[in-house]
Amino acid sequence: MSLEEFKNRNVGEQNYRLVDVGQTPQTGMEKFEQVVKRAVKLELFTGLKVTFREMFKALFGGQMHTTKYPFEKLPIAPRYRAIHEMKRLLESGHYRCIGCGLCEKICIANCIRMDTRYDENQRKEVSEYTINFGRCIFCGYCAEVCPELAIVHGGRYETASEQRASYSTFEDMLTPLDQLAQQSEFPGFGAVSDDADKKIKKTPLAY
């Protein structure tokens, strides 16, 4: 299902029409007459006919409406906030995170921690990074505050696990190097605004 289809998934073209339900019986006699009429006219089978028709359509006509979770999954909204993703730089493949510690600071569940160090290339290196998903409330602040668009939310919402470590590690969150070409930006919290280009102030060049 494409995004467009997904958005319109509940809007049909079924030609709705009003059903004439007639008058509501007022007196005791009228009510008695309605009951007798319905019982004798066997309207019950009309309903059962519809049910059986739909059942045959589903079972033999290939028109099943049930989603067989967990074998089948519905697509989720692109701005859905589930397990985080760590993005990479497209040019170098290096992870974008610079270790500024803002996500660690802003996290209201206090579930992000990072260790940084001075590496051999005279740069700040993130030597270890963890998110305690048992505590994370998926508020999106970390994605919003990240100056490098490095930490964003992803669509992996199944977080039940027996061990905290198997929720997700830094390496799991990173875009796999072989899928770098398919890496896309997160349109939700933290994304640049549509008019971002217009807001940029230019620096004069002296040379």
Partner 1 sequence: MNEVKKKEITLTIDGKKIKSEWGKTILEVARENGIYIPTMCYLSKVEPIASCRMCVVEVEGVDGMILSCQEKAVDGANITTSNDALFRERQKIMELYDVNHPLECGVCDKSGECDLQNKTLEYGVDAQEFAAKDQHRPMQNWGFVSYDPSLCIMCERCVRVCNEIVGDEALQISVGGYKSTIINVKQDEDCAECGECMAVCPVGALVSTDFKYTSNAWELDKIPASCVHCSSHCQLYYDVKHTSIDSPEPKIYRVTNDFEFSSLCGAGRFGYDFENRTATKESNKLKEAVEAFKRADTIRFSSMITNEEALLLQKIAKSVDARLVCDDAIGYQKFMKAYSSVSGKSLYGATLDTLKKSQMVVILGTRVYDDAPMVKYAITSAVKREKAQVVYLHPIEDNRIQNLVTQFIKYEVGSEEGVVSLLADTLIKKDGLDKSIKSLLDSLDIGYLSAESNVSEEELEQLKAKMWKRKRFTLVVGEDLYNHPEVENIARFIALIEKYSDFDLIAIPPASNTLGVSLICELDESASGYIVGYNAPGDYTLSALGDGDIDMPSLNQQEGTFVSIDKRVVPTHPALPYSGYELLDIAKELGESSEYIIEFTPSLPTKKGFKSINFDDLPDYFDVTGKSHRGYELDMVECESGSLPSEPQEIDSYDGTIVYRCNSGRAFNPFTSKCEQLKENEVTLRGSAQFAIAAKLSDGDSVKFTIDGIDYQRVFSIDTSLKGTIALNPIFDIGLSSFALSSYRFTKVKIEKTGQ
Contact stretch for partner 1 (CB under 8 A) within 70-78, 80-88, 112-120, 182-190:
112-120
Choose which of 34, 106, 140, 148 interacts with partner 1 (CB under 8 A): 148
112 vs 37: CA distance, rounded Å: 69
Supply the minimum distance, in Å, between the C-beta of residue 133 and partner 1. 15
Contact 134, 167 (CB under 8 A): yes
Binding flag, residue 22, partner 1 (CB under 8 A): no
Closest by CA to 82, choosing from 149, 129, 133, is: 133
Closest by CA to 133, choosing from 77, 70, 82, 95, is: 82
Binding flag, residue 106, partner 1 (CB under 8 A): no
Cβ closest to partner 1, residue 106 vs residue 191: 106
Q: Are strands 82-86 and 112-118 parallel, antiparallel or unpaired?
A: unpaired
Contact 175, 86 (CB under 8 A): yes
Binding flag, residue 144, partner 1 (CB under 8 A): no
Supply the minimum distance, in Å, between the C-beta of residue 106 and partner 1. 11
Binding flag, residue 104, partner 1 (CB under 8 A): yes
